[in-house]
Structure 1
Amino acid sequence: MNLALFDLDHTLLPIDSDYEWGQFLCRIGAVDAQAFAARNQAFFAQYQAGTLDPVEYLEFSLGTLAGFPRAKLDEMHAQFMREVIAPAIRPSARALLQKHLGQGDLVAIVTATNHFVTAPIAAALGIEHLIAAMPEVAADGSITGKLVGTPTQGAGKVVHTKAWLEKLGKRLEDFETVHFYSDSHNDIPLMSVVTHPVATNPNAALTSHAAEKGWPTINIFND
């Protein structure tokens, strides 16, 4: 068995699910549109620039989730999946995933976006294993607004991936090949410890780094 890891936003999806979730909340009137959109845009710009404080951002996004009963959150997310995510899922992304699943590879999505937003997306893509920022969940299923553990961003993806594999009784070194597909220079720490890093729809910083390292580059959204 080999291992195939995938970033989510701008890698398997041509959009940023976290950012789009915020825009969706504004659009349906669930939050103060002007104030929320301004903060959401500022955080997104910081992420693109590689200057985002992941804890600060997650406290902001999870704090927003804490403002709603769980039933309402799930209702809103189902609408989000129908209106935003489902139309964004491309056949090319499904084909890339199926290539690895069909080979019998162990496949996981490793994303900095929180688990509440991404779990239904992973399920829609047919991926069982998801490594994502974990919100604290109360006994009644509501989200408290707190982050459990460390963020799954940058070097945190390496830490969380190794911890996930350890729970399965495995290590990165146990696999003959380990692919990691990502669009962002923020993921260079994990890309640097796998056997087959693949710059996928890469941003300018990752394009340059991949060229220096001789990493392959693909774009699955050219259709």
Structure 2
Amino acid sequence: MNLALFDLDHTLIPLDSDYRWTQFFIERCPADEQAALHAMNDKLMADYHAGRLDPNESLAFLIGLLARKPREVLDAWHGEYMQAVILPAIKPQARALVEQHRAAGDRLALVTATNSFVTAPIARAFGFEVLIATEPELAYERGFTGRWVGTPSFKEGKITRVQQWLAQEGLALEHFARSHFYSDSINDVPLLERVTDPVATNPSPALEAVARERGWTIVRLFDDQEIH
């Protein structure tokens, strides 16, 4: 059995699920708050793409928004978000890539920095049984607290979280003859360096430069081009 790990945003879907969910959420906030919230969302996205994102600042904002509404409201909004934003964005070639590894009998996991409230329904849409995501703290009597628990699944944190998951299964990365990780982001270089088959998928310019220097496979999933 081999291992296949997948990033989500701009890797399996051609958008950022966290950014787009936050936009969706903000549009349902009071009008006098929206400009400042959109500005913060845009700043965090720019920081992420520049490789300078402060995860504590990002999570305090993004997960903090979840604490503003009861869970039943968030769940209803997320259902609308899936129908309006996510499901139309899931392309056949992305599903085919996942299914290729599933058909080969590989162990699969979706590994994303975006929190599990946003990404769990997306993982289910792709048929993933394992989701490794940043975990928002949940107080069952009143919804989310605005805090997070455990190690955020970001940069080196993705290695930690993958290792924790495998250890629970009595496994380690080294137990797999081949391990794949598909990602678009320069932020994922730490985990890309740990697998046997790193695949720069729809890569950002920064990641493409690294991939070309190191001879990694480059896949352009959404324009039907592949460069090796």
Say whether the fold is shared (TM-score over 0.5): yes
2:10 is matched with 10
Partners of 1:170 and 1:150 in 2: CA distance: 19
Stretches of structure 2 lacking an aligned partner (at least 5 in a row): none
Question: 8 Å contact 1:55–1:151 — kept in the other structure?
Answer: no
Change (3 A) 1:96 1:72: same
1:213 maps to 214
Determine the C-alpha separation between the residues in 1 that align with 2:203 and 2:124: 24
* Residue 198 (structure 2) aligns with: 197
Letter matched to residue 8 of structure 1: L
Q: Deviations over 1:41-65 (max 9, x none)?
A: 0000000000001121011111100
CA distance in structure 2 between the partners assigned to 1:106 and 1:21 by the alignment? 29
What SS does the corresponding residue of 2:135 show, helix, strand or coil? Answer: strand
Whole-angstrom CA distance in 2 between matches of 1:176 and 1:219: 25
How many Å separate the matches in 1 of 2:116 and 2:30? 20
SS in 2 for 1:8: coil
Sequence identity percentage: 52
How does the TM-score come out when normalised to structure 1?
0.97
User: Structure 2 vs 1, CA of residues 141 and 200 (structure 1 numbering), >3 Å: closer, same or farther?
Assistant: farther
Q: Match of 1:12, SS?
A: coil
One-letter identity of the residue aligned with 2:25: L
Deviation (angstroms), 1:30? 6.4
> In the TM superposition, what whole-angstrom CA distance separates every residue of 1:121-159 from its partner, at most 9, and x where no partner exists?
000111110000000111336111111012111011001
> How much does 1:82 deviate?
0.4
| Runs of 4+ with deviation above 3 angstroms | 28-31
How is 1:133-212 mapped onto 2 (pairs within 5 angstroms)?
133-140=134-141, 142-212=143-213
- Structure-1 separation of matches of 2:106 and 2:147: 34
Normalised to the residue count of structure 2, the TM-score between the two structures is: 0.95
> How many positions carry a matched residue from both structures?
223
Give the match for residue 53 of structure 1. Answer: 54
5+ unaligned residues in a row in structure 1: which ranges? none
Distance 1:55 1:89 in 2: 29
- CA deviation map 1:50-92 (0-9, x unaligned): 0001121011111100010010010000000000001100001
Instruction: Tell me if the contact between 1:62 and 1:146 (Cα under 8 Å) persists in the aligned partners.
Output: yes
